[in-house]
Amino acid sequence: MPNTARWAATLTLTATAVCGPFAGSALAAPEPGAAGLYAPSALVLTTGHGETAAAVTPERAVTLTCVPKSSGTHPAAAEACAELRVSGGDFDALTGRVGAMCSKQYDPVVVTVQGVWQGKRVTYERTFANECVKDSAATVLFAF
């Protein structure tokens, strides 16, 4: 087997082992202008009422895939991916809506994010005082 074919076979097996069931979509052609292989970005976001994720039954869950194109069950996948790219994947750096008017009622809502962002595993949990505060914390990422 020539070295090129052996190298291609090794890369394919490695990608299959690392990416698992996402290998088919993770190895699709990159976005126009992208060079070479790219890191996967696929997330599962959940929300539920309560103070911690451990004590909450998720009431809603959405998926968000940002590479090779924005997709998933998130109602605004393209905008959510763009928001994450601007923040560099830092969920705490997301900027909310300016001037959002929310009540001070305490009815805690927990949001969790788990998955892979640009090839790195991420786990995130944040508790908001109420639904309005959650929806205003990020332009679209947490509004599902």
Mean pLDDT, residues 111-132: 94
Strand partners of residue 42: 65, 116
pLDDT at 32 over 80: no
Q: State how far the Cα of 139 lies from the Cα of 135, in Å rounded to an integer.
A: 7
Distance separating alpha carbons of residues 35 and 131, to the nearest angstrom: 41
Task: Check residue 66 and give its pLDDT.
Answer: 93
| pLDDT value at 36 more than 60 | no
Look at domain 23-137 and name its CATH class. alpha beta
pLDDT at 29: 43
Q: Please determine, for residue 52, whether its predicted confidence score (pLDDT) is greater than 50.
A: yes
Do 49 and 108 touch, CB atoms closer than 8 A? yes
Q: Which helix (H) or strand (E) holds 6?
A: helix 3-19
Burial class (CB in 10 A: 0-12, 13-18, 19+), 21: exposed
Strand order in the sheet with 120-128: 60-65, 42-49, 109-117, 120-128
What's the mean pLDDT in 62-76? 94
DSSP designation for 47: E
Amino acid at 40: P
Whether 96 shows a pLDDT value over 50: the answer reads yes
Tokens encoding 31: 């976005």
**Residue 134 predicted with pLDDT over 80:** yes
Q: What does the pLDDT read at residue 98?
A: 67
The span from the CA of 144 to the CA of 141, in Å, is: 8
- Is the Cβ–Cβ distance between 123 and 114 less than 8 Å? yes
Percent of the chain with pLDDT over 90: 49
